[in-house]
Amino acid sequence: MDWITHDEDVWFDFRGNSPKQLTPGRYYKGSVDGFADFGVFVDLAPGVTGLLHRSELDRRLETLDWESGDTVFVQVKNVRNNGNIDLGWSIRQSESEFRGARVHDPDGDDDGEEIENGSSDGPTAVKKTPKGISTKSRAANGAESTATAEESTSSDDERAEPAEPEPEPDAGSETAAADPDTGADASGSGQDGHVVEAEPEPVASEAEPERVAVDSLGDRVGETVRIEGEVVGARQTGGPTIFEVRDETAVVDCAAFVEAGVRAYPEVGEGDAVRLDGEVELRRGELQVETEELTALSGDGAEAVERRLADALAEKARPDVVEPLAGMPAVEAVTDQLADAAEAIRGAVLESRPIVVRHAATADGYVAGAAVERAVLPLIREEHARADAEYHFFTRRPLDDPVYGMDAATSDVTRMLQDSERHDEKLPLVVLVGIGGTTDSLDGLGLLGVYGASRVVVDAEPVDTGVVDETSVLVSPGLTDADAADLSTGALSANLAAAVNADVRGDLAHLPAVSYWDAPPAAYTELSSEAGYDADRTGELREAIALEAYYQSYQDKRELITDLLFEDGGGLAGHVSEQFRSKLDTEVETAEANLELRDVGGVSVGVLDADSYSHQYDFPPAALLADALHRRADDRTATIVYATDELFVRAADVVDVRAAAAAAREAVPEGGVTATGIRQNRIEFLSGARGAVVDAVADAVVTQL
């Protein structure tokens, strides 16, 4: 009988001298050679060095506690034609965490030999179990059930030498003594010389394992169990195939092994209802079932599993009640919509469907996205045993331009198709908070729809009618008769987060107040104060988030935003907000000194040439500068900040920027005037017609005031 040690569970000592002698998929011991911004260089042998790119890590590069010369374990992912070696992360970083160790000496006689790694347990044999035959049933029918450590760690092409046959005993020797029960001697003959047929030992019939719930496996380590559920993911490693199986309670990884790197049970795929028997193990702190038998169900069996899962999903996903964080009529008017959105998000977690949250790279946008993140991550941790599940199943991607256009949609579709093709992942649920509610986003929403990705849009502003048909769930007070003039997207999203996960309500109480630049509604000021955040504290948080949102606006900065909004005692936010005020005050002071005041139809309008009188490519961006200038204005009704080919309008009253752009386009037909980014009151134009367009927009704005 063949015994084999998974390449995935063994580390190799490389004794070659060329990258081409390495075997992709194996784990090797190496030493840290140096660090770069993009990763870590690891020596596998003298003159053989690979790169562990930061994208391969399960943590941030700067959090690694490695130092040059440290012994580490890495996986060889690929050896390129030019000799470059791509390395992968190994969660195991000590010899004792592997099942064994082997020599990889391409030119030596000891290639493949076992290495004593000092572990008290020694290498553990892993049995190749053909489909449909459990390990225990084979042993019960006389198959070998044990092997020596030497046999268990030998390579496939090694075979043990046959043992010397035992000499047949003499009839009169002690070894030929008669069996007291049968009267037969060791040769099988009775005392009178007749052959006595020994009765065969009965084969023990082993009872089928009991079907148990996945969420009970933590109390069943070491037991052989049966689970029934749906395959929600399957990935092939260098050793076993890992099936993620979900029942009505939770998800667990199940390892099935046929041969290193070979797909086990190829007939079983994502979405199949299955019955799985196996032993529950605790591997590197995570639960895993070692599969002994896996069967794809059909007919009544599959229907029963699907019905249990559907009933459990519907029951668990729909919140029992949606209770607003504070008494806000605009929020109370959309509680049913919030329940629908919460059900979609909770359902995605239960279905092991990735969630992608898109939001604007502004203080309000970051508060909105972080609120949803705060609610969802604990649910993912509860649902999945994998330590990196929260990074795998939840992504927050800020947008510099608060429009879900084709650029952002193409990026999301490309990623989701790659993940589906490479890792058999389900298509994600895309949640758009504060973006996606205008016609500017219709093309992007439509592209997601073509591929069947679900779309949830959450927007405190009125939404364009065409958006309704391009969303799966839409949350907007604009769909009701409620007055939402004093509602921010951050406040609306915080209420959604409370509906998704009521356990984090206390963490969310201060977020609505943080999302307002002007004075928050009294209900949210009081809510924040009760949570221990006064006006000064929420102001610091708002400024700190706004500054960090500007830098690397395309990055989620998950840990930093979490520290600021939820874990900070005031020191971090205070430090960052000081930088915000210093940078903003300097720019505003310069801008005000160069602001052109115009009398347009009896209305005072301030106009700033941001190209000439602000620092380009530095904080604050033009939109935030326009906000700050207008908030501090007491001698004008409107402010226009323009740059090379765009301008931002701010006014005391609401301005229909689309109408203003249309009027300017009619006045300057050669200017290419277009309203884009309606939420920012932003208008684009051709730079050659800048002067005429600015004049035309000023006239159009004044006619609305």
Q: Is 264 helix (H, G, I), strand (E, B) or coil?
A: coil
Q: If DSSP codes are grouped into helix, strand and coil, which group holds residue 78?
A: strand
Which residue would you say has higher pLDDT here, 142 or 87?
87
Per-residue pLDDT tens over the stretch 623-643: 999 999 998 887 789 999 999
Question: Quick one: average pLDDT of 108-116?
Answer: 79
Distance CA 79, CA 619 (A): 43
The one-letter amino acid at 373: E
Residue 368 has pLDDT above 70, yes or no: yes
Which of helix, strand or coil describes residue 585? helix
Identify the pLDDT of residue 130: 31
- Across the chain, mean pLDDT equals 84
652 versus 499: which is more confidently predicted?
A: 499
* 182 closest CA partner among 169, 196, 195, 164: 196
User: How far apart (Å, rounded) are the C-alpha atoms in residues 342 and 89?
Assistant: 35
Give the count of beta carbons closer than 10 Å to the beta carbon of residue 521: 19
Helix 571-593 crosses helix 535-550 at what angle (to 10 degrees)? 70
Band (pLDDT 50/70/90 cuts) for residue 7 is low
How is residue 102 written in tokens? 């082997």
Q: How far apart are CA 86 and CA 79, in angstroms?
A: 6
Strands 39-45, 48-53: parallel, antiparallel or unpaired by DSSP?
antiparallel
pLDDT value at residue 676: 86
pLDDT in tens, 411-424: 999 999 988 887 77
d(CA 650, CA 640): 6
Determine contact, residues 564/406, Cβ cutoff 8 Å.
no
Q: Is the pLDDT of residue 191 over 70?
A: no
pLDDT 10s digits, 29-61: 999 988 877 789 999 998 899 999 888 888 878
Considering the chain, what percentage of its residues have pLDDT values greater than 70? 85
- What residues does 596 pair with on adjacent strands? 607
Query: Mean of the pLDDT values across residues 177-201?
Result: 43
List domains and CATH numbers for the chain. Answer: 3-127 (2.40.50.140), 214-316 (2.40.50.140), 322-530 (3.90.1640.30), 594-704 (3.10.310.20)
Number of CB atoms found within 10 A of residue 230's CB: 23
The 10 Å Cβ neighbour count of residue 530 is 11
Q: Tell me the DSSP string of 591-606.
A: HHHTPEEEEETTEEEE
* Residue 63, both tokens: 């959090």
Can you tell me the mean pLDDT for 508-524? 95
For residues 241 and 263, the answer to whether their CB atoms sit within 8 Å is: yes
Question: Is the pLDDT score of 449 beyond 60?
Answer: yes
Torsion of CA 408, 412, 417, 422, to 10 degrees: 130
Q: What is the pLDDT of residue 545?
A: 96
